[in-house]
Copies of this chain bind each other. A is one copy, B any other.
Amino acid sequence: MSHGYIKDKGDYLRRLRRIEGQVRGLQRMVDEDAYCLEILTQVSAATKALESVALRLLDEHLAHCVVAAVKAGGPDPHVKLREASDAIARLVRS
């Protein structure tokens, strides 16, 4: 079974590699005693980039997995929606 986001795997991987680079850049900044608030600015940038990945994953999850479950009928859509709601709550609260 394939998941909704799969058609853009390359794009997800590119974004995540960029975030990995940002996190390595943070290590360099700490190592070179950069100014705390400059490091903080970069932490916010990496956090925002992760948040964008999360929102996109969620969009594709709703558009694919949830819609597929609704079309298939049965009790599964409720499970899928509950899962999606929990994921949204975690995102909003993080």
**Looking at the complex, which one of B5, B16, B37, B77 makes contact with A23 (CB distance below 8 Å)?**
B16
A90 contacts B58, C-beta separation under 8 Å = no
Does more than half of chain A's interface fall in helix, strand or loop, or is it mixed? helix
Q: How many protomers of this protein does the assembly include?
A: 4
Contacts of A47 in B (CB 8 A): 47, 50-51, 54, 94
Of residues 1 through 56 on chain A, the ones whose CB sits less than 8 Å from some CB of chain B are 2-6, 9, 12-13, 16-17, 19-20, 23-24, 26-27, 30-31, 33-37, 39-41, 43-44, 46-48, 50-51, 53-55
Residues of A in contact, count (CB < 8 Å): 62
B residues less than 8 Å from A17 (CB atoms): 27
* Cross-interface CB contact of A37 among B37, B46, B84, cutoff 8 Å: B84
| Shortest Cβ gap from A40 to chain B (Å) | 5
A30-B12, A47-B51 as given contacts; A65 in contact with B36, CB under 8 Å: yes
